Amino acid sequence: MKTRVTELLGIETPIVCGGMMRVGTAELAAAASNAGALGVMTALTQPTLEGLRAEIEKCRSLTDKPFAVNLTVGVVTTEINYDDILDVIIDSGVKIVETAGRSPEPFMERLKANGVKVIHKCVAVRHALKAERIGVDIVSIDGFECAGHPGEQDVGGLVLFPAAAQALKIPVLASGGIADGRGLAAALALGCEGINMGSRFMVTKEAPIHEGIKQKIVEMDENQTRLIFRTYKNTARVYRNSVADKVAEIEAEGGDFGMVHHLVSGANQEKAWSTGDIEAGMVTVGMCGGLINDIPSCEDLVKTIVSDARSIISERLAGMIGTA
Amino acid sequence: MKTRVTELLGIETPIVCGGMMRVGTAELAAAASNAGALGVMTALTQPTLEGLRAEIEKCRSLTDKPFAVNLTVGVVTTEINYDDILDVIIDSGVKIVETAGRSPEPFMERLKANGVKVIHKCVAVRHALKAERIGVDIVSIDGFECAGHPGEQDVGGLVLFPAAAQALKIPVLASGGIADGRGLAAALALGCEGINMGSRFMVTKEAPIHEGIKQKIVEMDENQTRLIFRTYKNTARVYRNSVADKVAEIEAEGGDFGMVHHLVSGANQEKAWSTGDIEAGMVTVGMCGGLINDIPSCEDLVKTIVSDARSIISERLAGMIGTA
């Protein structure tokens, strides 16, 4: 397939593997890239600069194809030295960076000077317009359905994607609520030039998470997520388990973040991810988990999505307009 | 265009004009039907049975094409005698009925015995499956983006449409968040067989609402709606004006429905609709208002949507997969 995104990034299919904390390892990124999508490693998944450098090297050893590094800024903590991380990314010769969280403005000059293409992920058209103004190459726009942080405006992808694609001159990736060839074809119809998928890539053979969690996502339906942290203006979509329900209950009673902190601590999240017990902690997943019914390899996943989108376009849709 | 919905209903385009209280008059329904879509009159917009009978007659005098009557059950009040209304609809020879609110089960036997096709509008896959079981012909599934009542599950159309289309054997209309040819092409790609649009038909020359309201919808962006009545488990999406904000404030303070009743009274709503002052009362509109930029005739609207969807499919999408 060929869109402005595939051309700009030098990839075969307009599919980006979402940048995911703790999931975006070299193995998953390389598998996604080898499948013809854009694999994305997450910088903050590595605890040290040396670890990040080694992980990027590892990814390069596993694939000849383009891959990206995600740099999420300022959401979790301000103790991180992003300039040092950027040094490692640039020195390692990475040519595509996905930014998220705060605006990438402070980094743009260095990124562009080093020939790095920038994909910025954001949740509102006005943030996307700002990203375009400061020289970002591609915007990945996250709708209400997405896993993690959909923002506070709650605009579904069905409306947000065309609104963003229409407002911007640079290409737009549709993110959130997409898990298959139907979603890819729909996103392209809505004016986007490709898709970003997180939850779907979590449920692949190569994703470094416990099989128990993958299986729970296969089993979930579209009603099995919920929003938490709205009262802290840092809304997150997570799997609806007893932990998420407890957080929501504390929020409803006006509890501050300190009161939920132990529930959503890294230690508890780690317990869920490492043991496969989805009730053990907070698990980030989008409502498109309801559309996920198998655990394929990245290669099979990307092949199926592209082949489904192709037949939807050339058979189903063309048939409906009488040109099949 | 040809889909299972156009075949089943005998219409030219897979577009249904949403059943809208106070907006669904004979003039609008006939204009939509004459344009090749399915016009839908709303039974409860007429204050008397005689009025409804006359309005149906009027619609028939204005169009030779199929049109439907919407019957919304049990949401507003239980003082309505639905059997009497059904008598009028059936006696008037109406052959397509759109039901909404409660399940149409009590009416199905009479509707089917009289050769009436039934479109049931609902907000969740499990309700859609029930509708299919009791013999409904088409389900219109309302996603989170829709105007009016999206239900309490908050599943965006991007996920809800394919989930419903996959679960059902009968054809599915995508409803909520769609206002143009991009949305039509996307809905068809997601597995639906057509679209239902309310807000978009509100902003047409023939819609019987004040120009001031139409103009405000043209000017609004995708962030200009909000949900109210969640605490009463009767969530509604409305235009974000001072009335809606006040209702939300009272709800946040734990006020019961009695406390907001005067704000959302029919009299205040009527004031907004009749004077064109969008701050005068509650105005029901969906977030796709952000995608609406003009006030065309129904004929021009339907022509543009179909022509845009056609070129998206045969040029844009076919080009991306290399078959254009």
CB-CB neighbours of B205 under 10 Å: 15
Asked whether residue B257 falls in the same domain as residue B302, the answer is no
The closest alpha carbon to B270, from B262, B261, B282, belongs to: B282
Residues A14-51: tens digit of each pLDDT: 999 999 998 999 999 999 999 999 999 999 999 999 99
Contact B188 A221 (CB under 8 A): no
Contact B316 A189 (CB under 8 A): yes
Asked whether residue B164 falls in the same domain as residue B263, the answer is no
Asked whether residue B202 falls in the same domain as residue B174, the answer is yes
- pLDDT value at position B143? 98
By residue range, what is the domain housing residue A262? Answer: 211-287
Of B156, B290, B322, the CB nearest to A163: B290
What average pLDDT does the segment A291-314 reach?
98
Contact A156 B153 (CB under 8 A): no
DSSP state of B197: E
Strand-pair category, A67-73 with A15-17: unpaired
d(CA A303, CA A194): 15
Asked whether residue A263 falls in the same domain as residue A146, the answer is no
- pLDDT band for position A76 (50/70/90)? low
Contact A182 B190 (CB under 8 A): yes
Asked whether residue B189 falls in the same domain as residue B224, the answer is no
- Residues of chain B neighbouring A307 (CB-CB closer than 8 A): none
- Residues of chain A neighbouring B160 (CB-CB closer than 8 A): 222
- pLDDT value at position B76? 54
Among chain B residues, the shortest Cα distance to A252 is held by B252
Contact B183 A316 (CB under 8 A): no
User: Is the Cβ of B198 closer than 8 Å to some Cβ of chain A?
Assistant: no
Scanning the structure block, which residue is given the tokens 């103790």? A79
Kindly report the average pLDDT of chain A as a whole number. Answer: 96
The closest alpha carbon to A100, from A152, A147, A140, belongs to: A140
Asked whether residue B205 falls in the same domain as residue B236, the answer is no
- pLDDT value at position A266? 85
Shortest Cα–Cα distance, A304 to chain B (Å): 14
- pLDDT value at position B324? 81
List all residues 6 or more positions away from A282 whose beta carbon is below 8 Å from its beta carbon.
A228, A238, A239, A241, A243, A244, A247, A263, A264, A268, A269, A272
> Hey, what are A191's tokens?
């004016």
The closest alpha carbon to B100, from B59, B140, B60, belongs to: B140
Contact A159 B2 (CB under 8 A): no
User: Is the Cβ of B304 closer than 8 Å to some Cβ of chain A?
Assistant: no
The closest alpha carbon to B145, from A155, A236, A183, belongs to: A155
d(CA A212, CA B125): 26
Give the H/E segment covering residue A268.
helix A266-275
- pLDDT value at position B77? 58
Shortest Cα–Cα distance, A317 to chain B (Å): 7
Chain A contact probe: residue of B142, B159, B253, B317 with most A CBs at under 10 A? B159
pLDDT in tens, chain B (324 residues): 999 999 999 999 999 999 999 899 999 999 999 999 999 999 999 999 999 999 999 999 999 999 999 999 875 556 788 999 999 999 999 999 999 999 999 999 999 999 999 999 999 999 999 999 999 999 999 999 999 999 999 999 999 999 999 999 999 999 999 999 999 999 999 999 999 999 999 999 999 999 999 999 999 999 999 999 999 999 999 999 999 999 999 999 999 888 999 899 888 888 998 899 999 999 999 999 999 999 999 999 999 999 999 999 999 999 999 988
d(CA B37, CA B41): 13
Asked whether residue A202 falls in the same domain as residue A223, the answer is no
- pLDDT value at position A213? 96
DSSP state of A38: B
The CA angle B19-B66-B183, to the nearest 5 degrees, is: 55
d(CA A29, CA A19): 9
d(CA B103, CA B88): 20
Shortest Cα–Cα distance, B318 to chain A (Å): 7
Q: Has the ipTM of the complex gone over 0.90?
A: yes
Number of domains in chain B: 2
Among chain B residues, the shortest Cα distance to A316 is held by B189
- Residues of chain B neighbouring A288 (CB-CB closer than 8 A): 158-159
d(CA B28, CA A40): 50
Scanning the structure block, which residue is given the tokens 């056609």? B310
Chain B contact probe: residue of A11, A122, A152, A159 with most B CBs at under 10 A? A159
User: Is the Cβ of A254 closer than 8 Å to some Cβ of chain B?
Assistant: no
E-assigned strand segments in A84-209: 96-101, 117-122, 138-142, 172-175, 194-197
Strand-pair category, B236-239 with B225-228: antiparallel
- pLDDT value at position A77? 57
- pLDDT value at position A74? 74
Is-contact A173 A16, C-beta < 8 A? yes
Asked whether residue A222 falls in the same domain as residue A122, the answer is no
Residues A158-184: tens digit of each pLDDT: 999 999 999 999 999 999 999 999 999
- Residues of chain A neighbouring B162 (CB-CB closer than 8 A): 180, 182-183, 291
User: Is the Cβ of A152 closer than 8 Å to some Cβ of chain B?
Assistant: no
User: Is the Cβ of A221 closer than 8 Å to some Cβ of chain B?
Assistant: yes
* Size (chain A), residues: 324
Contact B145 A158 (CB under 8 A): yes
Residue B76 sits in a domain whose CATH number is: 3.20.20.70
Interface of B with A in 156-175 (CB under 8 A): 156-160, 162-163
CA distances from A110 to A5, A85, A97 (A): 22, 12, 12
Shortest Cα–Cα distance, B92 to chain A (Å): 33
The pTM is what?
0.97
Exposed/middle/buried for B304, CB within 10 Å: 0-12, 13-18, 19+?
middle
Exposed/middle/buried for B50, CB within 10 Å: 0-12, 13-18, 19+?
exposed
Asked whether residue A151 falls in the same domain as residue A251, the answer is no
- pLDDT value at position B266? 85
CB-CB neighbours of B257 under 10 Å: 14
- Residues of chain A neighbouring B228 (CB-CB closer than 8 A): none
Asked whether residue B177 falls in the same domain as residue B216, the answer is no
Asked whether residue B34 falls in the same domain as residue B54, the answer is yes
Asked whether residue B18 falls in the same domain as residue B40, the answer is yes
Of A145, A158, A180, the CB nearest to B183: A158
Is-contact B44 B72, C-beta < 8 A? yes
Contact B158 A145 (CB under 8 A): yes
